[in-house]
Amino acid sequence: MPYAKIDDSLSLYYHIKGDGLPVVFIHPFVMGHNVFKYQEALSDRYKTIFFDLAGHGRSSRGNKPVSIAGIAEDLKEMLDELGIEKVVLCGYSYGGLVAQEFALKYPERSEALILSGGFSKIDTLIPKFIIKLVMLMVKFDQVSLAAKWQAKFHKYDPKDEKEIFELACRSDSQRSYEYIKSGLHYDSSSQLHKLDMPILLVYGSLAKPMHRYRIPFQKKAPQTQVVFIKKGTHQLPTRSYQDFNAIVDTFLKPLNDNNKKEAGLG
């Protein structure tokens, strides 16, 4: 299995499929890269990059606490090792915080930003309650319970639930707790005006508590596009994958075409 060595204590598992514009997918807490299993279909047109965060999935836990800023730095180190200079960042839920942090810190390496169920800070009651509930589970070493919950909510079919559960169970309780805690304190709202790359926000029409999170992006980064998936929940990459993939493809097609022209392939 391929691993990128970040330091002596941390190796990140990664999986790359396809060619074209590089798109890196960033997963939430107590999960692994396979929450994006249906996005592998995009490898027909893009270089899709999937990886497990520190202390999650097949990656090692490392000897440093996990934070949003730290994960963004790990991602940069992984891309350096892979020789990939510029990427589209596709973050799902908490993974969107990492995507924003990377784009803010390394704008020259950020082709575009895609956030599924994205937010610049978490401050609404229902999402915060759910996050804190999972945080309590991992704090008291109930990773398997949190993994079961994540898998059940993200399944498209029974096979998904089993696969997602098995990888999520490998999450380290301490690293998961740190990831969740760091995200609860993260706030990029005052920095959104610095994001000058194309931005796409995708929300499920049924995930109404998340809809207001589009507003700061639209106000401070007016190039932001917002799409709502009809009858979609928060778990779009799995449960609404066909619509989600089509929206991502439509958004990225101009960038991909331009990328091919610059490479002399168009």
128: CATH: 3.40.50.1820
Q: Is 110 exposed, middle or buried (0-12, 13-18, 19+ CB in 10 A)?
A: buried
Q: How far apart are CA 15 and CA 33, in angstroms?
A: 9
> What domain range includes position 37?
3-262
| Bridge partners (DSSP) listed for residue 48 | 17, 23
Please tell me the predicted confidence (pLDDT) of residue 209. Answer: 95
Q: How far apart are CA 127 and CA 124, in angstroms?
A: 6
Return phi, psi of residue 195, to 5°.
-80, 105
Please tell me the predicted confidence (pLDDT) of residue 186. Answer: 98
Q: Give the strands of the sheet with 21-26, arranged side by side.
A: 3-7, 10-17, 46-51, 21-26, 87-92, 110-116, 199-204, 224-229
Please tell me the predicted confidence (pLDDT) of residue 262. Answer: 73
Please report, in tens digits, the pLDDT of each residue of the chain (266 residues total). Answer: 899 999 999 999 999 999 999 999 999 999 999 999 999 999 999 999 999 999 999 999 999 999 999 999 999 999 999 999 999 999 999 999 999 999 999 999 999 999 999 999 999 999 999 999 999 999 999 999 999 999 999 999 999 999 999 999 999 999 999 999 999 999 999 999 999 999 999 999 999 999 999 999 999 999 999 999 999 999 999 999 999 999 999 999 998 888 777 766 65
Q: Global pTM?
A: 0.97
Tally of domains in the chain: 1
Give the strand pairing for 110-116 and 224-229: unpaired
Contact 61, 259 (CB under 8 A): no
Contact 149, 126 (CB under 8 A): no
Please tell me the predicted confidence (pLDDT) of residue 263. Answer: 66
Q: How far apart are CA 207 and CA 155, in angstroms?
A: 16
Distances (CA, A) of 150 to 43, 57, 238, 244: 25, 14, 12, 19
Burial 239-248 (b: 16+ CB within 10 A, else e): bbbebbbebb
